[in-house]
Structure 1
Amino acid sequence: MRVLMKKGLVLVVISGVLLLALIHLWSPEMKPNVDISRKQRSHIESLLKKRNKDAVSSYQDVPYTIKLSVARQLAYNACECHAEKHTLPLALPHLLFPQVWAHNLNHAYLESDSDPEGVKGRRDKEYSSFQRRSYSAADLLIVAEANSPLQFPTQGVEVRPMKTILIPGLGLKQDPRPTHMVSLTATMGTLDVAATVDGVSITGEGQKTMRLSSSLLSTLNRQLQFVSYTNTLFHPKTADTVQYGSEGHQAAFTIKVGHNASPKLYNSGSNEEYNISALVTIATKTFLRYDKLEALIASVRRYYPTVLIVIADDNQRPQPVTGPYVDQYIMPYGKGWFAGRNLAVSQVTTKYVLWVDDDFIFTESTKLEKMVDILEKTTLDMVGGAVTEVTGYSATYRHTFSVDQGDSEGDCLHVRQGYYHTIEGFPDCVVADAVINFFMARTDKMLRIGFDPRLARRGHLEFFVDALGSLHVGSCSDVKIGHASKIHLPWTKSEAEKGYDAFRYSSSAGEGRVHTELYYFKNRLKCMSSN
């Protein structure tokens, strides 16, 4: 009996260990909370700015003389709006000398508004949000203080195409000697000085290579603070590598050349609370499911009576879908899934677009305010929700991507279920690379990425592969939408449902080849893996 008790005890212990191991394997991996709020500056960046300022503000006591031919070309961040006036007594001056016109938008727009200060405040808020979203730490000016003995900017120097800037942070730190000398060589522009300092010899002004020398290190360093760069080769987005050297020491730094990204701001009203009708448009694509579409619209109107619904319709015999705040756009027959997405999103004028399938149903858990809140308070471009089936099961379809660099045959894409981390302040939200087919996104980002119209019947993951690297994606499990039941006995299906199934779920070798071609050729992949 004692032997049996010992064996039973051993079995209990082993079973307990196995149970703990299974719990450990089955339990979700603990992910860290990460703050992705729109913080534009950090403590480290503030320290870098102070150090940069100290590095470039020395030698203030060394006198200089402004060189007007160069100084006039510099940008002073104070643009003005002036029209040209003809003074020549000619009958047709506008034909011989085309006149520059100017339109004061501030005056023209604000003078007819009942709350001009409110409009200005909203625009300032939107612009600040845009700056925070588009800011990158790689844009911060960093000056490598002299230790080689060259001092120069390592990043953060930019010039508009065909414009002139002062190159910040140039300097030389070395022991006294009869002559101190530096040289600079550019490839996409010319070098000059905006002011001259007595005692400094300069050759190559206005050329690609310029040399500066002086018997006094202080005067040479003061002169280096006025070195200018003028871009002469237009390209919308590139960089010039400037060679910088002094007596056996060589360095290089880049000057980014390009236009600033034009902001796209949305005037969504003056209410402090989120005005969903002014912020969000609902977009969907329908085909042979007008009954499902009507149910979707009815459920939307129950919770959001004035939100605009945009419908892309590629039915062979379209039926008018009428009602307030409904726009129906007819497409060529069977044009397809992604073509319909392109059409619907192209007609959205609000800041955000909510994509839903035409057989979804809004419920009390479909809180668009929550989606707007996380998009407004974080750097996310898109946030997905959860789709609840009639069984009560909710799916979020969260995936992460990783791309391994390959050889001449292409790269390898690995798709895995899961997410990167939870979002601080939003415990039910995580960051991923792909989410379910119920999402809210920034309209301008959707338009920029687009949907490949070759995907006519099926396609979802392909969009997120195209968006990889340019779309910041999140998913919130506490925002849910219902899904119409797909459980139908074959003999109870309508002719429309049978036609939809035949069109939607049929497959062909040609269609499969399209999907393969997109991954292989467009995305340059040789391999995909998924779990």
Structure 2
Amino acid sequence: MMRCLIQKKTFLVILSALLLFALLRYWTLRATTTVDVGPGQSNKAQKVLKERLQNVQNSYDNIPYVLKESVAGRLALNGCVCEADKKPAIDLPFAQVLFPRVWAQDDFHTAFQEAKLAQVKSRRQQEYNSFQQRYQTPADLLVIAEANSPLQYPTQGVVVRPLKTIVIPGLGLKEKHRQLHTVNLTATVGTFDVLATVDGVSVRGQGVMHMTLSSSLLSTLNRQLQFVTYTNTLFHPKTADTVQFETDGHQSVFTIKVGHAVIPKLYHSGYTGEYNISSLVTIATKTFLRYDKLQDLIDSIREFYPTIAIVIADDNEHPQPVIGPHIEHYIMPFGKGWFAGRNLAVSQVTTKYVLWVDDDFLFTSNTRLENMVEVLEKTTLDMVGGAVREATGYTATFRHTISVEEGGEEGDCIHIRNGYHHVIQGFPNCVLADAVINFFMGRTDKMQQVGFDPRLNRVAHLAPSMWISSLVLLTLRKWLFSGPILPEFFIDGLGILHIASCDDIIINHASKIKLPWGKSDSEKAYAKFRYSSSDAGQIRNALFYFKNRLKCMSSN
């Protein structure tokens, strides 16, 4: 009997060990592929396309043309000036009201000392290059479809500013000799003209939406096509003109995007060599009923980053002062909530990056913000998450992928899964994911762009039932582990935020292991707000259903 009991216990121990190993193996599973998210990933394709475009543009250079000045004056040049209207010789009363003059200011550079201007320009150019690399994709490159059919035209990358004029690149006709070669162009929100005229080519429809060009010589017609211009005449935000380009028996369609350029939002941090974390990063947090833990967090930050700015959002009913150098403490209405606090804190950040931490986290020597900054500076990523080490010794990253499946009239389905997409080239401890743990650094402008929905009040994390169905494991996780992710925030940011997770950047989490009779009054009050069985789930469901147009969610 005793021997049988020992065998059963041994079997249970072995089975438990195997299950634990499988679970740890699942959590630490690494991808076998890597991806390059560096800023120069499309340089090779861009070089090939540029060479191809030059070959197209250099064709028929030997055919003369006559410049059309009225059209040339409308084209944007590679340079701009801000000029004020000349002051009239006679200053009449109310002249500015009756005949308003354009004013101009062209001395923005004087905001910087002359001795530092060259350094500022260099840093600004570096930041601008980084901005362009993040916002431009291979889909923005100009691509010319060479004449597989007789027609040659741009397939993508043609952009015109509202009510402005451009030369349409890449137009051409490649066909056998015939008596008369003819092409037609038709637009919907713009007009055509020619920058120059070529002898022997008939051009009909200058200044209107339909243009016909014809010539008995194919070479002269192709030369004339190099000077065809497009002028936007009707501007609507985020629109494009669908241009029809046709010849006898063949028709093609291409688009010309119409829109304003995105104005850069660059951050002048002032650093030139090593990363100056205090000028690059602001730490943001939200506190509620945990001033003791908040102070522990601040003390741990100051041990490693004495001058970094800390922004605190506080919605306590009876706020206490939180003072110290480089600390901004903002008081909110009582119980306003976690997401509203995040919005407030992030809205006050003026540095390039913002680091989010919970008020019960603790910095250690492994909390290397420089490593996070390096990932963001050397890639096109918008956010990088770290790992959280619990008091139990367990270190969590909680990396997840998110996918949306179209679902018709009832709404879409969203699927959240443990795991990640690829390891990041050059950063073997970092992977691409769609959602990360509640310790991350992001580009301030992108964080502000996505925002945190303040209608989500005290609920901080995904409903535990979606992660662990076992009541025992749920209870253990609630006591031992930090919350995994903010699904609402990352769902709102899907397609906007490009995210990494690095397991070698670690922050500690204050112990959550406390017996019920050992809790303080503030801890009991906090638990009441945090884990109350309120209607928060219904609020979340309503937002998922209506705001995000979802009908269901799955997760593991």
Structure 1 position 523 matched with structure 2 position 543 = no
CA RMSD of aligned residues (A): 1.8
User: Matches of residues 180-329 of structure 1 in structure 2 within 5 Å?
Assistant: 180-329=181-330
* SS across alignment from 2:354: strand
Q: Contact 2:242–2:255 at 8 Å: present in 1 too?
A: yes
Range with bigger deviation, 222-231 or 263-272: 263-272
1:343-384 deviation per Cα after TM superposition (whole angstroms, max 9, x unaligned): 000000000000000111111111000000111011110000
CA distance in 1, matches of 2:254, 2:261: 20
**Paired position in structure 1 for 2:500:** 474
How much has 1:199 moved relative to structure 2?
A: 1.5
User: How does the TM-score come out when normalised to structure 2?
Assistant: 0.89
**Paired position in structure 2 for 1:487:** 513
* SS across alignment from 1:319: coil
CA distance in 2, matches of 1:63, 1:365: 68
Range with bigger deviation, 494-503 or 347-356: 494-503
How much has 1:113 moved relative to structure 2?
A: 4.7
How much has 1:242 moved relative to structure 2?
A: 0.1
**Paired position in structure 2 for 1:412:** 413
* SS across alignment from 1:212: strand
Q: Contact 2:187–2:210 at 8 Å: present in 1 too?
A: yes
How much has 1:22 moved relative to structure 2?
A: 7.6
How much has 1:122 moved relative to structure 2?
A: 0.7
Task: Letter of the 2:542 partner, please give it.
Answer: E
1:256-294 deviation per Cα after TM superposition (whole angstroms, max 9, x unaligned): 111111111111113300000000000000111111111
- Counterpart pick for 1:100 among 102, 108, 119: 102
Q: 1:24 to 1:358 in 2, by over 3 A?
A: closer
CA distance in 2, matches of 1:175, 1:151: 14
Structure 1 position 506 matched with structure 2 position 532 = yes
CA distance in 2, matches of 1:73, 1:158: 15
Q: Contact 1:296–1:360 at 8 Å: present in 2 too?
A: yes
Range with bigger deviation, 364-373 or 484-493: 484-493
CA distance in 2, matches of 1:55, 1:184: 19
Range with bigger deviation, 466-475 or 41-50: 41-50
CA distance in 2, matches of 1:100, 1:309: 44
Task: Letter of the 1:462 partner, please give it.
Answer: E
Structure 1 spans left out of the alignment, 5+ residues: 1-17
User: Matches of residues 2-41 of structure 1 in structure 2 within 5 Å?
Assistant: 28=29, 30-39=31-40, 41=42
How much has 1:42 moved relative to structure 2?
A: 2.9
**Paired position in structure 1 for 2:173:** 172
**Paired position in structure 2 for 1:74:** 75
Q: Contact 1:356–1:438 at 8 Å: present in 2 too?
A: yes
CA distance in 1, matches of 2:31, 2:152: 45
* SS across alignment from 2:318: coil
- Counterpart pick for 1:496 among 514, 517, 522: 522
* SS across alignment from 2:407: strand
Range with bigger deviation, 81-90 or 115-124: 81-90
Q: Contact 1:150–1:172 at 8 Å: present in 2 too?
A: yes
CA distance in 2, matches of 1:173, 1:103: 50
Q: Contact 2:459–2:536 at 8 Å: present in 1 too?
A: no
Task: Letter of the 1:94 partner, please give it.
Answer: Q
CA distance in 1, matches of 2:182, 2:41: 39
How much has 1:472 moved relative to structure 2?
A: 0.4
1:110-141 deviation per Cα after TM superposition (whole angstroms, max 9, x unaligned): 3x354111111111111111111112101111
How much has 1:96 moved relative to structure 2?
A: 2.1
Structure 2 spans left out of the alignment, 5+ residues: 1-17, 461-485
CA distance in 1, matches of 2:253, 2:218: 21
Task: Letter of the 2:350 partner, please give it.
Answer: T
CA distance in 2, matches of 1:293, 1:245: 69
* SS across alignment from 2:406: strand
CA distance in 1, matches of 2:336, 2:136: 39
Q: Contact 2:288–2:316 at 8 Å: present in 1 too?
A: yes
CA distance in 1, matches of 2:506, 2:363: 8
Q: 1:290 to 1:25 in 2, by over 3 A?
A: closer
**Paired position in structure 2 for 1:120:** 121
CA distance in 2, matches of 1:134, 1:485: 41
Q: Contact 1:170–1:225 at 8 Å: present in 2 too?
A: yes
Task: Letter of the 2:351 partner, please give it.
Answer: T
Q: 1:74 to 1:274 in 2, by over 3 A?
A: same
How much has 1:36 moved relative to structure 2?
A: 1.2
Q: Contact 2:31–2:423 at 8 Å: present in 1 too?
A: no
User: Matches of residues 370-381 of structure 1 in structure 2 within 5 Å?
Assistant: 370-381=371-382
1:394-444 deviation per Cα after TM superposition (whole angstroms, max 9, x unaligned): 111100011111111111111100111111111111110000000000000
Tell me the percent identity.
Answer: 63
Task: Letter of the 1:529 partner, please give it.
Answer: S
CA distance in 2, matches of 1:353, 1:169: 44
Range with bigger deviation, 183-192 or 46-55: 46-55
Q: Contact 1:118–1:270 at 8 Å: present in 2 too?
A: no
* SS across alignment from 2:553: strand
**Paired position in structure 2 for 1:398:** 399
* SS across alignment from 1:277: helix
CA distance in 2, matches of 1:270, 1:526: 48
Structure 1 position 159 matched with structure 2 position 164 = no
Q: Contact 2:109–2:117 at 8 Å: present in 1 too?
A: no
User: How does the TM-score come out when normalised to structure 1?
Assistant: 0.93
Q: 1:328 to 1:260 in 2, by over 3 A?
A: same
**Paired position in structure 2 for 1:47:** 48
CA distance in 1, matches of 2:292, 2:361: 12
How much has 1:507 moved relative to structure 2?
A: 2.0
Q: Which runs of at least 4 in structure 1 moved beyond 6 Å after TM superposition?
A: 21-25
**Paired position in structure 2 for 1:109:** 111
Task: Letter of the 1:180 partner, please give it.
Answer: H
Task: Letter of the 2:546 partner, please give it.
Answer: F
Task: Letter of the 2:547 partner, please give it.
Answer: K
Range with bigger deviation, 98-107 or 321-330: 98-107
Q: Contact 1:203–1:212 at 8 Å: present in 2 too?
A: yes
* SS across alignment from 2:92: coil
Range with bigger deviation, 401-410 or 287-296: 401-410
How much has 1:386 moved relative to structure 2?
A: 0.6
